[in-house]
Amino acid sequence: MRIIFALKLFVLFLLAGLPLLFSGCAPGYLMIREAGLRQFELRIQAQEERLELLSTEQTGTQGALLESHSELANQLQMIAQTQAELVQRQKEWENYIRSTRRQSSAEEDKEIEIQDSSTAMVTEDKQVVGSVEKVFLSPPGTILSARVDTGATSSSLDARNIVRFERNGERWVRFTISNPEGDNEIILERKVVRNVRILQASAEESERRPVVELGVTVGKTTQTAQFTLSDRRHLEYPVLIGRNILMDILVVDVSRSHIAPPQLPVSLSEQPVTP
Q: What is the pTM of this model?
A: 0.53
Is the pLDDT assigned to residue 126 strictly greater than 90?
Answer: no
Q: Label the pairing between strands 221-230 and 155-158.
A: parallel
- What average pLDDT is seen over the chain? 77
Q: Where is mean pLDDT largest: 4-18, 44-58, 93-107, 247-261?
A: 247-261
- Mean pLDDT on 66-79: 73
Last residue of a domain, one of 117, 152, 173: 117
pLDDT of residue 267: 52
Using a pLDDT cut of 90, give the percent of the chain over it.
Answer: 39
Name every residue whose Cβ is closer than 8 Å to that of residue 250 and which is 6 or more positions away in sequence: 126, 127, 128, 129, 218, 219, 221
Is the pLDDT assigned to residue 16 strictly greater than 50?
Answer: yes
Q: What is the DSSP string of 92-113?
A: HHHHHHHHHHHHHHHHHHHHHH
User: Which of these ranges, 19-33, 198-212, 213-227, has the smallest mean pLDDT?
Assistant: 19-33
Same domain, 95 and 176: no
Residues 151-189: tens digit of each pLDDT: 999 999 999 999 999 999 999 999 999 988 888 899 999
Last residue of a domain, one of 117, 151, 181: 117
First to last CA, the chain: 190
Residue 21: phi and psi, rounded to 5, are -65, -45
Give the type of residue at 34: E
Same domain, 131 and 96: no
Same domain, 106 and 126: no
CATH number at residue 147: 2.40.70.10
Identify each DSSP E strand in 111-151 by its residue range. Answer: 121-122, 127-130, 132-138, 142-148
Structural domain of 64: 1-117
- Mean pLDDT on 96-107: 57
Grouping H, G, I as helix, E, B as strand and the rest as coil, residue 172 is: strand
Q: Are 100 and 108 in contact (CB under 8 A)?
A: no
Distance of CA 22 to CAs 11, 12, 28, 31, 255, Å?
Answer: 17, 16, 11, 15, 133
| Percent composition of the chain: helix, strand, coil (DSSP 3-state, to 5) | 45, 30, 25
- Mean pLDDT on 109-115: 46
Residues 239-256: tens digit of each pLDDT: 999 999 999 899 999 999
How many structural domains is the chain composed of?
2
